[in-house]
Amino acid sequence: MMARWRFVWLHGLFLIYALGGVAGKKAASYEWGSEPFFWVFSGMILVFGLYAVAWQQLLRYIPLTVAYAHRSVMVFWGMVFGYCFFDEYVTLGKVAGILLAACGLVLFSLERRARDD
């Protein structure tokens, strides 16, 4: 059984990745080539670069299939950040999609746990 800190690290990485998406959308609101665009876009590149390095390190400890199954959590973060930073609507369809993704993750985890026991 994998240590829980690895999953905390994994989900922390997904949170960081989602914040990079926020920076990208924010950069798009500025005129291309302007100073604010440059700083926000540079921040996005930095976030994605840090994410990529940390992701590669984490894959040494977590199987790729498990890591990718947990990526569905980023849909949740995308909806939360869209609501918080960009006044996007949270609809019943979006919530249903997130619940469906969460059910898939639970089923994947239960199947994997049953196989490992």
pLDDT tens by residue, 41-85: 999 999 999 999 999 999 998 888 888 888 888 888 989 999 999
> Could you tell me if 23 and 44 are in contact, meaning their C-beta atoms sit under 8 angstroms apart?
yes
Its domain, for residue 16, covers 4-116
Q: Average pLDDT, whole number, for the chain?
A: 88
Alpha carbon distance 107, 114 (integer Å): 11
Task: Give whole-number Cα distances, 82 to 32, 56, 76, in Å.
Answer: 22, 27, 10
Torsion of CA 35, 40, 41, 46, to 10 degrees: 130
Number of domains present in the structure of the chain: 1
- If DSSP codes are grouped into helix, strand and coil, which group holds residue 93? helix
pLDDT of residue 99: 93
* pLDDT surpassing 60 at residue 117: no
Q: What is the rounded average pLDDT of the residues 80-95? A: 93
Neighbours of 27 (CB within 10 A): 20
Q: Quickly state the pLDDT bin for 114 (edges 50, 70, 90).
A: low
Q: What is the rounded average pLDDT of the residues 16-29? A: 90
Q: Which residue has the higher pLDDT, 22 or 3?
A: 22
pLDDT of residue 2: 58
Q: Quickly state the pLDDT bin for 112 (edges 50, 70, 90).
A: low
Residue 107 structure tokens: 């089923």
